[in-house]
Amino acid sequence: MSTADDGFRPLDENSLVEYIKATPSLLAKLGGAVDNLIIKEVGDGNLNFVYIVVAPAGSLVIKQALPYIRCIGESWPMTKERAYFEATALRAHGRLCPAHVPEVYHFDRSMSLIGMRYLEPPHIILRKGLIAGVEYPLLAEHMAEYMSKTLFYTSLLYTTTTEHKRAVAEFCGNVELCRLTEQVVFSDPYKVSQYNRWTSPYLDRDAEAVREDNVLKLEVAQLKSMFCERAQALIHGDLHTGSVMVTQESTQVIDPEFAFYGPMGFDIGAFLGNLILAFFAQAGHANEGNDRKAYKKWILRTIEETWNLFYKKFVALWNENKDGPGEAYLPPIYNHSEVLQLVQTKYMENLLHDSLGFGAAKMIRRIVGVAHVEDFESISDASKRAECERKALNFAKMLMKERRKFTSVTEVVSAIQEVDS
Amino acid sequence: MSTADDGFRPLDENSLVEYIKATPSLLAKLGGAVDNLIIKEVGDGNLNFVYIVVAPAGSLVIKQALPYIRCIGESWPMTKERAYFEATALRAHGRLCPAHVPEVYHFDRSMSLIGMRYLEPPHIILRKGLIAGVEYPLLAEHMAEYMSKTLFYTSLLYTTTTEHKRAVAEFCGNVELCRLTEQVVFSDPYKVSQYNRWTSPYLDRDAEAVREDNVLKLEVAQLKSMFCERAQALIHGDLHTGSVMVTQESTQVIDPEFAFYGPMGFDIGAFLGNLILAFFAQAGHANEGNDRKAYKKWILRTIEETWNLFYKKFVALWNENKDGPGEAYLPPIYNHSEVLQLVQTKYMENLLHDSLGFGAAKMIRRIVGVAHVEDFESISDASKRAECERKALNFAKMLMKERRKFTSVTEVVSAIQEVDS
Ligand SMILES: Nc1ncnc2c1ncn2[C@@H]1O[C@H](COP(=O)(O)OP(=O)(O)O)[C@@H](O)[C@H]1O
Ligand SMILES: Nc1ncnc2c1ncn2[C@@H]1O[C@H](COP(=O)(O)OP(=O)(O)O)[C@@H](O)[C@H]1O
Ligand SMILES: [Mg+2]
Ligand SMILES: [Mg+2]
Ligand SMILES: [Mg+2]
Ligand SMILES: [Mg+2]
Ligand SMILES: [Mg+2]
C-alpha cells in the first residue's frame, strides 16, 4: 500500500478505515469512532469503487476513482481526475437542488475520493425498481424538479456570460469523459467496433442496418456536434436510470462524473430514453402473476409527466428570474408577455427535439453498443430479449430521424403505444 | 511615464522608440537602428492604438491595447488582455493561412503590445476601397481561402476533442470582448439604449420597428445563444470589411482581438453582411461620372464567389483530411461517398443559414446600433443616406427571418437585386 508520487493510493476495506480515522469530516459522520464498522464494496457501478460504511452512530459512502475503467480493467485507462468533476458537479447541483442530490461530506482530489451521504435502504437504483415493476408516484415530479433547477440555473437564462465562460472553461478539463461518451454513444454503434455487442444472432441484421443507415448517421453526426460544441448548461452527463436512487418518497441523483457544459437535451433525453427502454423491456418481465400492462401504463405516464412537469417548472423558473442576472434574454427586449411567450415556446420546442434526439441515441447504444442495460440483460430468453430490443431499437431509429415532427410528449407516448400494439 | 505594478505603461511616440531599441526582435526588423524613424499613429481604429514605424531599412506596426475602448474613452473600461487573444489568434490563423495574415514579430503580454508586419501602401482598408468603388479581383478567392483554412482547421473536423477543449477553455478568457459583441450586436439594437443612433429623423420609425418586431427578436435570441454557446471553431470575431487590408494582389486580415471559439457563421456572415452594406451604400456614392452600376454588379459577384469558393475550399479540405485527426466524422462511419456527401451537404446548408443570420444581425446593428460604418456615414446627404440604410435594414430583417429558406448564395444575390430594383 505505497503512496504514489501524486499522493494517490487505491484504498481497500482496511486502508479505508485508516483513511476515515484520519479525516475528521468523515469520522464525525460516523459519530467519531470506527469501532464496529460494517464496510461493503458495492460493485455494481461500471467505472469506480463504492464503499458503504455503516457505524452504530452514523454512515457514509466513499467513492474512489481509479485510473482506469473498472468494468474493463487497466487496459482502458481513464483519468481519475473525473472524481474532481463529479465532486464539483455534486456540490453545484446539490446547492441548486439539495432535495435530490446526496450531500458531499468530503473530497480529496489527490486520492480521487468522495465522501458522501449514504442513501440508506430502502433506496435502490431506479433501474432495478423498474425491472421489478415498482411504481414511484413522485418520480416524475422529483426528476422534473432536479432537471429544471440544475439546468436552468447553470444556463445563460440565469448565469452571466462571465460566470458561464469561467465554468465552461473549468469543465473543459473533463475532456476524457466527454471523449468516452463521444465514442460509446455517438460513434461505436454506427461502425464495426470490438466493443459492440448485441443479442446475436437475432439482432445481427439489425445491428448491421444501424451501421448502413445513412440518414441515421447524418442525424447522429448532428447530435454529436451539438454534444461537443454546445455549452448550454452544466449537465449531469450520465443521467440514465442507473444514476437515480429511489424510495417511494425520495429520489436521489448520483454519479455525475461525466458532468460538463453541454446540451440540456442530453440529460433529459438520457432519462426519458432509459424509461422507454424500461417500457420495451416489460414484455420480457411479464409472467402469469403479472402481465405488466398496468405497469407499462405507469411508465408512459411517468414519461409524459416528467417532460410536462419539467416544462412547467423550467418556464416558471424563467418567469421568476426574468429580471435576474441571466444575460440571454434581457428584460427590456423580452419582458413583455407576447414576445416572452414566443421565445419560451420556441426554446422549449427546440429542447424537446434535442431531448428526443439524444434519448434515441442513448437507446440505440444500449442495444448495439458496448454497455447494455439490466432491463434487457435480465431477460434470460434470448429470443424474447431480442424481440423487446428490436422494438426499442426501431422506435429509437424513428425517433432520431423524425424528432422534429413531434410537438408534444403526448405524441411521443402515442407513438410508443402504436409500436407496442 | 511611470510603470504600473503589472508592468503596463501606455506608450507614446517617444517611449515607443525606447521600447523598440530595447527589444531585439523589433529592432532587427528596422535594420538594427532607430535613426530617422517615421512614426505615425493611425487613429482610425475603434479600440486601440496603432503606430506605423518606418525606418530606412525596414518597417513594422506596433498595436497597443489600453484598458478602455479608445473611441469612447476611459468611461468604457475594457480589459487590455484582449491583446493576448489578438496575438494568439494572429499566430494561430497565421500558421494556418500565412498568405493572408500579417506576421507577428513580437508580443509583450504585460504591455498588451503586438509588433507585426507593416502592410505597406498601397494596402488600404477594404471598406475604403469599397467606398471608392475599387474592384479587387482576388478578394473573393483570398477571403474564401482565409475563412476556409482558419475555420476548418480549428473545428472538430480537423482537431481532436482533447485539443479542441483545451483551446476552447483558453479562449473563454476573452469573455469581455464576447460580452461587448453580445451587447452591441445582439442586444442594444433591439432595445432603447443610450449608445444607439441612426439617421434621425428619417429612420426613427424604422428603429422603433426593430425594437417592436417580435419575430425578429425571436430570431436574434437564437443567434445570440448560438454565439454564446457554440464552440465550433476559432473565429476572428470581428471580420467586417474594416478588418481586411487589400491591394490588387494582396488580402490581409488584421485585428482578431474578438477571437474565441464560436460559430463559424459569425465570421462568414460578418464579411458577407458588410459587403451587402457596401452594396446598398453605392447609391449614395454614385455621381455623374460613375453611376456605380458596374461596381454594384462586382460586389454581388464577390458575395456569390466568396461563398461558393469558400464552400468548395472548405469541402476540399474536409475531403483531403477525412482520414486526419478530426473526431467529428470518423472514417469508418462516414468515409463512403454517398454518406459523406449527405453529411457535407447538410453541414454546408446549416452553415449558410447561420452565416445569413449572423450577417443580417451585423447589418442591422450598423444601422440602428452604436457603431456605424463609413460606407453610409460618408454619404453626406442625410435623406439619401437614410434611403440607402432603410433598404439595407429591410433586407437584413427579411434575411434574418427567412434565412432557412435560402438554399444557395445565388438566391440571396437575387433577393438583393430585387430589393434594389
Ligand atoms: N450515496 C450512495 N448511497 C448508496 N449507494 C450508493 C451511493 N452512491 C453509489 N451507490 C451504489 O454504488 C453503485 C455505484 O455507484 P456509481 O456512483 O453509479 O458508480 P459508477 O460511477 O462506477 O457507476 C450505485 O449503483 C449504488 O448502488
Ligand atoms: N499591420 C498593419 N499594417 C498597416 N496598417 C495597419 C496594420 N494594422 C492596423 N493598421 C491600421 O490601423 C488601423 C486600426 O487597426 P486595427 O487593428 O483595426 O485596430 P482596432 O482594434 O482599434 O480597430 C487599421 O484600420 C489600419 O488602418
Ligand atoms: Mg453509475
Ligand atoms: Mg459513473
Ligand atoms: Mg479594427
Ligand atoms: Mg503573411
Ligand atoms: Mg479591433
CATH code at position A112: 3.30.200.20
- Same domain? For B91 and B176 the reply is no
Q: Is residue A7 part of a domain?
A: no
Is some CB atom of chain B closer than 8 A to the CB atom of A405?
Answer: no
Report yes or no: B173 at the A interface, CB cutoff 8 Å. Answer: yes
Atom of ligand 2 minimally distant from the CA of B123: 4
Q: Does B146 fall in a domain?
A: yes
Q: Which amino acid belongs to residue B256? A: P
Average pLDDT over residues A394-419: 98
Residue A224 sits at the chain B interface (C-beta within 8 Å): yes
CA distance A24 to chain B (A): 35
Residue B348 lies in a domain: yes
Centre of ligand 1 to C-alpha A254, Å, is 7
Q: Give yes or no for residue A364 having a pLDDT over 90.
A: yes
C-alpha cell at position B146: 482565409
Mean pLDDT of A177-186: 98
**A94 and A144 share one domain:** no
Nearest-by-Cβ selection for B190 from A228, A328, A333: A333
The alpha carbon of B74 and the centre of ligand 5 are apart by a number of angstroms equal to 18
Whether B274 has a pLDDT exceeding 60, the answer reads yes
Same domain, A196 and A328: yes
B242 CA: nearest ligand 2 atom: 25
Pairing mode of beta strands A251-253, A260-262: unpaired
* Chain A CB within 8 Å of residue B337 CB: no
Helix B214-229 to helix A337-368 angle (10° resolution) is 40
Q: Measured between alpha carbons, how far is B118 from B103 in angstroms, rounded to an integer?
A: 9
Cα A413 to ligand 3 centre (Å): 27
Q: Closest Cα of chain A to B152: distance in Å?
A: 14
Residue B304 CA to its chain's centroid (Å): 18
**pLDDT tens per residue, range B290-333:** 999 999 999 999 999 999 999 999 999 999 999 999 999 999 99
**Among B403, B225, A332, A407, which Cα is nearest to A340's?**
A332
- Whether residue B303 lies inside any domain: the answer is yes
Which residues, by Cβ under 5 Å, contact ligand 3, an ion? A 45, 255
Report the residue from B182, B192, B230 with minimal CB separation from A332: B192
Tens digits of per-residue pLDDT, B219-242? Answer: 999 999 999 999 999 999 999 999
Cross-chain residue pair B328–A228, CB shorter than 8 Å: yes
Contact B44 CB / ligand 2 (< 6 Å): yes
B364: Cα separation from own chain's centroid: 15
pLDDT band at A2 (very low <50, low <70, confident <90, very high): very low
Chain A residues touching residue B326 (CB < 8 angstroms)? none
A301 near B CB under 8 A: no
List chain A residues with CB under 8 Å of B211. Answer: 333
Q: A228, B338: Cβ pair inside 8 Å?
A: no
Q: Flag whether A1 is in a domain.
A: no
3-state SS class at B124: strand
Mutate: best of B333, B349, B353, partner A, most A CBs <10 A: B333
Averaged pLDDT score across all residues of chain A: 96
Residue nearest atom 17 in ligand 2 by C-alpha distance:
B255
Q: Is A173 left (phi over 0), alpha (psi -120 to 50) or beta?
A: alpha
**SS3 at position A98:** helix
CATH code of the domain containing B306: 3.90.1200.10
pLDDT digits (tens, 9 = 90+) for B157-211: 999 999 999 999 999 999 999 999 999 999 999 999 999 999 999 999 999 999 9
Query: A256 and A344: one domain?
Result: yes
Q: Give the DSSP letter of residue B186.
A: I
- A40 and A170 within one domain: no
Average pLDDT for chain B: 96
Using the beta-carbon criterion (under 8 Å), do A168 and B168 form an inter-chain contact? yes
Residue with cell 460613375: B290
Distances, alpha carbon B312 to alpha carbons B307, B351, B403, in Å? 9, 13, 21
Instruction: Give the pairing of strands A233-235 and A260-262.
Output: antiparallel
- Shortest CA gap B395–chain A (Å): 22
- Chain B residues lying within 8 Å of A156, measured CB to CB: 225, 228-229
Residue B171 sits in the same domain as residue B276:
yes
Cis before B122? omega within 30: yes
- What residues contact B272, with CB distance under 8 A and at least 6 apart? B303, B306, B307, B355, B356, B359
Residue of B nearest to A176 (CA): B162
Structural domain total, chain A: 2
User: Quick one: A110 and A239 in the same domain?
Assistant: no
Q: What's chain B's Rg over C-alpha atoms?
A: 22
Residues A43 and A150 in one domain: no
> What is this model's ipTM?
0.97
Query: Do A135 and A93 lie in a common domain?
Result: no
In the predicted structure, residue A314 carries a pLDDT above the cut 80: yes
**pLDDT (0 to 100) of residue B145:** 99
Check residue B189 and report its DSSP letter: G
Pocket test of ligand 1: the residue of A254, A373, A374 to mutate, having most ligand atoms within 8 Å of its CB, is: A254
**Which protein residues have a CB closer than 5 Å to ligand 4 (ion)?**
A 47, 255, 257
Residue A3 included in any domain: no
pLDDT of res. B421? 86
CA of A92 to the centre of ligand 3 (A): 18
Distance A300 CA to ligand 4 centre (A): 26
pLDDT tens per residue across span A243-298: 999 999 999 999 999 999 999 999 999 999 999 999 999 999 999 999 999 999 99
CA distance A148 to A142: 10
B74: pLDDT confidence band, cut at 50, 70 and 90? confident
Contact B190, B196 (CB under 8 A): no
Q: What is the pLDDT of residues A187-217, one digit of tens each?
A: 999 999 999 999 999 999 999 999 999 999 9
Half-sphere exposure of A293 (CA within 13 A, CB side): 4
Which of B88, B116, B144 corresponds to the end of one domain?
A: B116
**Alpha-carbon distance B308 to B247, whole Å?**
22
Angle made by CA atoms B199, B205, B210, in degrees to the nearest 5: 95
A218 in B contact zone (CB under 8 Å): yes
Question: Percentage of chain B surpassing pLDDT 70?
Answer: 98
Q: Based on the fold, state whether residues A157 and A173 are members of the same structural domain.
A: yes
Confidence of residue B5 (pLDDT cuts 50, 70, 90): low
Tell how far the Cα of B182 is from the centroid of ligand 2, in angstroms.
23
Residues B24 and B82 in one domain: yes
B156: nearest CB among A164, A187, A228: A228
**Is A381 strand, coil or helix?**
coil
* pLDDT tens by residue, A104-139: 999 999 999 999 999 999 999 999 999 999 999 999
**Mean pLDDT score, A155-163:** 98
pLDDT higher than 50, residue B2: no
All three cell numbers of A107, joined, read: 473530497
- Which residue's CA lies nearest to atom 13 of ligand 2? B45
Q: Final residue of a domain: which of B58, B86, B116?
A: B116
At A1, is the pLDDT very low, low, confident or very high (cuts 50, 70, 90)? Answer: very low
Mean pLDDT over residues B140-152, rounded? 99
**Cβ <8 Å between B346 and A218:** yes
pLDDT digits (tens, 9 = 90+) for B386-407: 999 999 999 999 999 999 999 9
Rounded distance, CA B92 to CA B122, Å? 26
Q: Does the beta carbon of A339 lie under 8 angstroms from any beta carbon of chain B?
A: yes
Q: How far is CA A314 from CA A163, A273, A347, B235, in A?
A: 20, 20, 11, 32
Q: Which domain holds residue A92?
A: 13-116
User: Is B98 inside a domain boundary?
Assistant: yes
Question: CA-to-CA distance for B382 and B206, rounded, in angstroms?
Answer: 15
Clarify whether residues B264 and B321 are in a common domain. Answer: yes
Q: Which residues of B touch A328 (CB under 8 A)?
A: 221, 224-225, 228
CB-CB neighbors (< 8 A) of B217 in chain A: 333-334, 339, 343
Domain boundary among B92, B116, B140: B116
**Residue B327 in contact with partner chain A when CB distance is under 8 A:** yes
Could you identify the residue written with the cell 440508506?
Answer: A120
Quick check: A283 contacting B, CB < 8 Å? Answer: no
* Ligand lying nearest the CA atom of residue B258: 7
* Cβ distance of A156 and B232 shorter than 8 Å: no
- A169 interfacial to chain B (CB closer than 8 Å): yes
The Å distance, Cα A18 to ligand 3 centre, comes to 26
* pLDDT mean over B27-43: 94
Q: How large a percentage of chain A has pLDDT more than 90?
A: 95
> Is there a domain that residue B224 lies in?
yes
